[in-house]
Amino acid sequence: MARYKTLYNQERIHLATGGLNIKRWSKFVWACTVTPRHAFIMWMTMHDKLPVKSKLVRFTDKIEDQTCVLCNAEAEDVDHLLFQCIWAKAMWQAIRNGWPIPLDISGKATFARSLIKLRKSKDEKQITYSIVAAVIYNIWRARNK
């Protein structure tokens, strides 16, 4: 039973991350330079566990307004909140102005794939992993204020 549950969870994670293997993306979630609280939010993001409104509405009928709290324009899901929201895009752009990161931030799956394929030195990768985890953490934090 435990083996079945493990396989079931691996498949769920595989699907939640757009077909990405957990071993491939865990290296940037748990990189030694990433602040633990940032890593935790990144881990929740990659496991599709971030409690965004589109997810919460499945468990409660108290979520009447599914609109993103940052832009008040579109429905709040992970792809919108962290990558497509005008507020998130501005934050990513501000970071890119200081640290040019060749990442596809159009959505979570493309973001993870481009982080896995990142062609930088080991040190630059560690810095990049820290920066992107901090960006995601701070978008999530702003959303919850």
Q: Closer to Zn ion at the Cβ: 19 or 51?
A: 51
Site for Zn ion in 59-118 (CB under 5 A): 68, 70-71, 85
At closest approach, how far in Å is the CB of 41 from Zn ion? 17
Q: How many CA atoms within 13 Å lie on the side-chain side of 130? A: 11
Q: Closer to Zn ion at the Cβ: 68 or 132?
A: 68
At closest approach, how far in Å is the CB of 58 from Zn ion? 20
Reduced to 3 states (helix: H, G, I; strand: E, B; else coil), residue 52 is coil
Q: How far apart are CA 37 and CA 83, in angstroms?
A: 20
The tokens of 26 are what?
């865990």
When asked if residue 39 is in the footprint of Zn ion (CB under 5 A), the reply is: no
Q: How far apart are CA 95 and CA 54, in angstroms?
A: 27
Interacting residues with Zn ion (CB under 5 A): 68, 70-71, 85
